Amino acid sequence: MPTSLVAKLASIIDHAVLAPLATTGDLECACIKAREYSIASVCVKPWMVAGAATLLRGSGVVASTVIGFPQGGMHPRIKLAESAQALADGAGELDMVANLGWVAGGDWTKVFDEVHAIAKLCHRNKAKLKVILETCLLTEEQKRKLCEVAAEAGTDFVKTSTGYSTAGYTRDDLLLMRASVPTHVGIKASGGVRTLGQAMILMEAGINRIGTGSTWAILEEAKKAKRFEP
């Protein structure tokens, strides 16, 4: 029996609960809906991880969180400690912002070492790491090199954006990222995914994850669509 459009989309969506004023009530509502739709993960602020892990336990939906958010400039030991705390609280995936100053300055050994340390920590805990590029701030060469370094350092995904800078994902950035990492490294599009049409284009292009705060509107619209329905 064919898989429904709703299920296909839900399986690649990380629902973001990252707004500055997001509350415990927002988290609870998001986790209830996440269980209903069986989305990939609920991506929350670090202080929410333990609550998300509890609310999602047994559902198959992963509790995920952000590290070094949103500019990536924390001391690497702080980012490593933040990662360790998130994993201890029950996070199964970490979305870490790369140190953009190091990227801009070409300090690639430092970029590698930071990503490698957090990737090793994740993998010891059977968790996954996504490295956020913040593509709107980088040159094509910086984006390409960061993807290559992150992949070599062991990341599981490269991700376009935090959603809190000057712009989000673009088609050209996604193509560049896919060409810059091995096939086993996933691509996550985020920043500006708000409609079913956008999500469909990304899914059909083979993007592995979509980050959005518009999950429920997208999936409700998908319920009305006919493609992929049994």
CA distance 223 to 230: 12
Query: Which residues are catalytic, by number?
Result: 95, 159, 188
Cross-strand pairs, 207: none
Residue pair 149/138 in contact by the 8 Å Cβ criterion: no
Ramachandran class of 188: left when φ > 0, alpha when ψ lies in -120 to 50, beta otherwise: beta
Whole-angstrom distance, CA of residue 23 vs CA of residue 143: 34
Structure tokens at 222: 């998908």
Pick the closest to residue 151 from 195, 121, 183, 196 (CA basis).
183
Task: Kindly report the number of other CB atoms within 10 A of residue 105's CB atom.
Answer: 11
DSSP-assigned states of every residue in 194-221: -SHHHHHHHHHTT-SEEEES-HHHHHHH
